[in-house]
Amino acid sequence: MNEPRYSSYIAGQWVEGGGSLVDENPANLDAPVGHYGVLDAAAVGQAVDAAAAALPAWSLATPQQRAEVLDFVGSEILARKEELGRLLAREEGKTLAESIGEAARAGQIFKFFAGEALRIPGEKLASTRPGVDVEVTREPVGVVGIIAPWNFPLAIPAWKIAPALAFGNTVVFKPAEIVPGCAWALAEILSRAGLPEGVFNMVLGSGRTVGQALVAHPKLDALTFTGSVPTGRALLEQAAGRALKVQMEMGGKNPLVVLADADLDQAVECAVNGAFFSTGQRCTASSRLIVEAAVYDRFVVKMQARMAQLRVGDPLDPQVHIGPVASQAQLDTDLGYIRAGHEDGAELLAGGGRVDCPTRGHFLAPTLFAARASDRISREEIFGPVAALLRAADYEHALALANDTEFGLCAGICTTSLRHATHFKRHAQAGMVMVNLPTAGVDPHVPFGGRKASSYGPREQGRYAVEFYTTVKTAYTSA
């Protein structure tokens, strides 16, 4: 085997793990990215034990020491963003431009939290009693377990690992099984950043074995998870029995509303970007396009014309707009929902099948259905390049359709009406709202998260990350 073999990282040492699983290239199944070994539950226990042993010293490290570690990581990621982006494109399948952008975002996140390490907030308050001082400080929550998804294999681990370390926690990071290369690359940089052994650990393996062992370990203090709703709910039940502090992001069914007064060309670009770029594999994807009846037919014509211009293929080809689906399992899911669209009587407007390419891969045409709000493709998260188009009678109907979902991550509206934009920002039942922008695409220095079944616990990213990664202590002193 000429491909690299990726190892886990525990207590400052690289650990091989058992077996030799293939790290697939979804754009070329005949040219794998590498191989990796997986850990058993005992090795995961060793990683948590190492993190627990390292916690007392790291929790008392100076803010400057933490800041320098994170700044080192961020600087190296940014310096190597093209190299890391190429690895990401080969392993996950998003286009090279998107992959390089994600690598840059990961570096920016580490840089941001390098600054936050120097700005850990606290308060000094007057007591209601004479001669007493009150101090409110934030301390690390402890050993943090991180379970990350495959769709953003650099950025999402970055926005979990960086704040955990910035605020003095120790980490056990479990990446998704299909992206071990990106996880290894990130761990390798962290291994050279000056961290004491055991502060950061990375464990490769399945959710059933590694993930379960991580959550069940008695020394784990907190769990941050991004992934599917069923997995998240199962982990939440397990964590609740142990009273773990939990933060979860579990998906979306995000609406993009297009009103009659919108700039339709701009709206089409928002819809295409949000629904189909990154192969639709974003929890913020615009999977429901809700269009006011007065411009519905015109919007359909413009969408079909724009989608016909999209090229599916090798993500390393600069002429390609949409890469492959990340795995065979996800491709099967996407094709299953396309069948469900036909079975429910939705009208296929574009796409609907696999795409032949020179290499053997998981290529799927971006797909658009004219659907009803009750159809499965309008209700359930697909996580692929498949969108449902819904007709709305007017703004009030569009808002009702937008909110008619168990999810509440992101919602968008395209309009030139300040009145409607303002009303939508206030009344959309989502954690994030976009006006004349794609629903997918957020900044790293502001809160990320949703409502309803999309999220649980404190927000991620930005200064709000301190809420999850620290615990508050109130101290009284009598002079």
Q: Which residues are catalytic?
A: 249, 283
Taking a C-beta distance cutoff of 8 angstroms, is the pair 120, 466 a contact? Answer: yes
Taking a C-beta distance cutoff of 8 angstroms, is the pair 440, 274 a contact? Answer: yes
DSSP one-letter code for 359: S
Task: Determine how many CB atoms are found less than 10 A away from the CB of residue 182.
Answer: 30
The pair of three-digit structure tokens given for residue 148, joined into one six-digit string: 């990350």
DSSP one-letter code for 317: S
Name the CA radius of gyration of the chain, rounded: 23
User: Cα–Cα distance between 138 and 468 in angstroms, integer?
Assistant: 11
User: Cα–Cα distance between 96 and 327 in angstroms, integer?
Assistant: 18
Residue 215: φ, ψ to 5°? -70, -30
CA nearest neighbour of 38 among 208, 203, 211, 216: 203
The residues facing 10 across adjacent strands are 13
User: Cα–Cα distance between 19 and 8 in angstroms, integer?
Assistant: 13
DSSP one-letter code for 314: -
The pair of three-digit structure tokens given for residue 410, joined into one six-digit string: 């992101």
